[in-house]
Amino acid sequence: MDEPTTDRDTGAAPLPQQRASTYRLGDRGHAVAEVRRRLVTLGLLETEDDTVTVFDAAVDRAVRTFQQRRGLSVDGVLGPGTFRVLEEASWRLGDRLMTHSPGRVLAGDDVLALQQRLLDLGFSVGKMDGRYGAQTELAVREFQRNIGVPADGTCGPATLKALARLVPRVRGGSPNALRAQERIRREGPQLTGKVVVVDPCVGRFEDRALRLQADAITLDLARRIEGRLVATGVQAFLTGTGGAEESTEEQRAEFANRADAHLCVSVQVDGSPNPGEAGVATYYYGSEAHGVVSSAGERFAGLVQREIVARTGLADLRSHARTWDLLRRTRMPAVRIEAGYLTNAGDADRLRDPDFRDLVAEAVVVAVQRVYLDPDHDAQTGVLRFSELRALRP
């Protein structure tokens, strides 16, 4: 069995007590001083007196840069999500003993580096998500069996030394993408029997009345998507009904994983301080900072984006990689849809129209079908109709 390693001295105190706190421009406190030190370590902030405890303009810029690079929502606010990812970014491979604990999964840049090493050596680690989950543990055990050390699934000094010695002869390629493509091919083109989780998600609204309106529209849209999926033979499940019952992204991702879903569709109506901001955007799991992406998620998001734009005429805000918990923690391809802005007069008028929500729902269901169609036999964007999908049922 690998012996425990000693955590390196990062010069930074842990941040667990700050995860429920929120800091922004103008705030002060010891947590801000700690964040400043971490941003200096990451090269995002110039070295300075570490007794400074103010969240100033330089920290705001550094936090926004960090959020952009890490695929988070760029708002300059140090909330629980940014705190957690900032903590994950401080770990390097070899800093700590890594083992799988179902109730408290390790996460960090060191885990992502381990996953990349194993993938380069030909071991399947599942999603490259920087989390030491069950699939990563299985890959470590398989690697340990291959090198002749006890296969305990714990990554310590002996395993790390072996990883450092075994340099793959060939790097690059997309083994995870090839596995995803093959899995989808094996699942076949028929939607009957497939499981899709639909997640109504409330957007960012400070105005309570606007938030309630967005919640109602989002839930209605999610139910329209669910109903059409069921009509094509899909087993569709909603993660919740929004409002006061809204759960965390982590909980909703676990719901999708427990359902053993083939796909996950998260939908929300957005808002912005800029009333001119309008259009539809889709998001999939990916991290620019680490050069990792869910290829199946990216393709799914692209299909959804193109279908909605073609059928509704909403402004095309394109598809983007993000590391939001729902996209990161789901085992299946997942997409987040921001289906227009309730703070924009034009988008708002359309979102309040049930016929428009029908168009969006049809676009999503058609995109789900197109995930499983052979490109050589696929229809053009905006052409396939819901009635035709029902005809495809066995």
Measuring CA to CA, which residue among 57, 56, 37, 34 is closest to residue 47? 37
Helices 57-69 & 80-88 angle (0-180, nearest 10): 70
d(CA 149, CA 145): 6
CA dihedral of residues 30, 31, 36, 38 (deg, nearest 10): 130
Q: Going residue by residue through the chain (394 aa), what tens digit of pLDDT does each one get?
A: 454 444 444 444 454 444 457 899 999 988 888 899 999 989 999 876 667 889 999 999 999 999 999 999 899 999 888 999 999 999 999 999 999 988 889 999 999 999 999 998 889 898 899 999 999 999 999 999 999 989 999 999 999 999 988 866 555 557 777 777 888 888 888 899 999 999 998 777 778 888 889 999 999 999 999 999 999 999 999 998 765 456 889 999 999 999 999 999 999 999 988 999 999 999 999 998 888 889 999 999 999 999 999 999 999 999 999 999 999 999 999 999 999 999 999 999 999 999 999 999 999 999 999 999 877 656 667 666 666 665 555 5
> What's the sign of the alpha-carbon dihedral 306, 311, 317, 322?
negative
d(CA 313, CA 72): 27
pLDDT the model gives residue 99: 94
CB atoms within 10 A of CB 112: 24
pLDDT the model gives residue 30: 86
Q: 208: which 2 tokens?
A: 């309570």
DSSP 255-268: HHHHTT-SEEEEEE
Q: Is 99 helix (H, G, I), strand (E, B) or coil?
A: coil
Query: Which stretch of DSSP H or E encloses residue 341?
Result: strand 334-341
DSSP 120-157: HTT---SS-SSB--HHHHHHHHHHHHHHTS---S-B-H
Measuring CA to CA, which residue among 79, 28, 30 is closest to residue 204? 79
Digit-coded pLDDT (tens) for 277-294: 999 999 999 998 888 889
Buried b (16+ CB within 10 A) or exposed e, 218-252: bbebbbbbbebbebbbbbbbbbbebeeebeebeeb
Q: In sequence order, what are the beta bridge partners of 351?
A: none
Digit-coded pLDDT (tens) for 143-176: 999 999 899 999 999 999 999 888 665 555 577 7
pLDDT the model gives residue 165: 87
pTM given for the model: 0.84
Q: Report phi then psi at 347, rounded to 5.
A: -60, -40
The CA–CA distances, whole Å, from 294 to 60, 105, 133, 329, 361 equal 30, 20, 17, 12, 24
pLDDT the model gives residue 378: 60
- Residue 267 makes CB contacts below 8 A (sequence gap 6+) with 198, 199, 200, 201, 218, 221, 222, 225, 336, 337, 339, 364
Q: Is 192 within 8 Å of 234 (Cβ atoms)?
A: yes
Q: What are the structural domains, with CATH classification, of the chain?
A: 16-88 (1.10.101.10), 109-172 (1.10.101.10), 187-391 (3.40.630.40)
pLDDT the model gives residue 291: 85
Q: Beta strands 263-270 and 195-200: pairing type?
A: parallel
Helices 295-312 & 175-187 angle (0-180, nearest 10): 60
d(CA 63, CA 44): 8
pLDDT the model gives residue 10: 41
pLDDT the model gives residue 187: 85
d(CA 368, CA 184): 12
pLDDT the model gives residue 202: 79
Q: In sequence order, what are the beta bridge partners of 265?
A: 198, 335
Query: Which stretch of DSSP H or E encloses residue 322?
Result: strand 316-322
